[in-house]
Amino acid sequence: MRLVNLNGLGLKQLKLVCLALFVVLLTWKWEKGSLRNRGELLRSEPLALSHPVQSNYVDHDISKEEIFSSLGPLVQSVDEVGREATAASPPQSVVHEAENVTGKREASPPEKKECDYRNGRWVPDDRRPLYSGLSCKKWLSDSWACRLTQRKDFAYEKFRWQPEGCDMPEFQASQFLTRTKPLLL
């Protein structure tokens, strides 16, 4: 059975009008504020005081001890907590800066830290380039061949990466192959 057009409106246009009307109503309700506070009203457990207080009468003469004694053993006084904290043993290791005889402080010996290869700079190295660039064509495709890229400046080949604060060992192919031999299939 085929749906009949209502005054020239097709089903697509009717869906769009309903959707637009729904969005307008939703934003209107949101601006009004009735949707924002709905989460507080839908909580599963109602809010209740653990010790109900009568609104007609509040006794101002009750002492702190009476209030805290009714709460049970979970509440400790500040004095008890302070005594427990001072009775605890001090930390086992404490780092002190040494003072020499003249009263000047000496810096503690620096800890050996790992070399961070990310931070550094490019430094010139006359031992480079390690290849001439003429024999690269037999190992690389034409698009990646060393000297066939139409570049006129090859000064970048005489630089090497130097990490800050440590020395990077020179690459040795035989050591690299020895280390990676167990990993190869």
Longest Cα–Cα distance of the chain, Å, equals 104
pLDDT given for residue 21 in this prediction: 92
pLDDT given for residue 120 in this prediction: 92
Q: Residue 142 — pLDDT band, cuts 50, 70, 90?
A: low
Distance CA 66, CA 75 (A): 12
pLDDT given for residue 90 in this prediction: 56
pLDDT given for residue 143 in this prediction: 66
What ranges do the domains of the chain cover?
1-39, 121-166
Q: Which of 131, 101, 107, 115 is nearest to 164 (CA)?
A: 115
Is 117 within 8 Å of 163 (Cβ atoms)?
A: yes
Distance CA 22, CA 26 (A): 6
Is 115 within 8 Å of 166 (Cβ atoms)?
A: yes
In this structure, of 6-15, 80-89, 168-177, the range with the lowest mean pLDDT score is 80-89
Which residues lie closer than 8 Å to 5 by C-beta, 6 or more apart?
Answer: none
Is 111 within 8 Å of 97 (Cβ atoms)?
A: no
| pLDDT (tens digit per residue) in 4-26 | 566 666 788 889 889 999 999 88
- Which helix (DSSP H) or strand (DSSP E) does residue 79 occupy? helix 78-87
Distance CA 77, CA 97 (A): 38
The mean pLDDT of 77-93, rounded to a whole number, is 57
- pTM tops 0.75: no
pLDDT given for residue 22 in this prediction: 93
Q: Residue 117 — pLDDT band, cuts 50, 70, 90?
A: confident
Q: Is the pLDDT of residue 137 over 80?
A: no
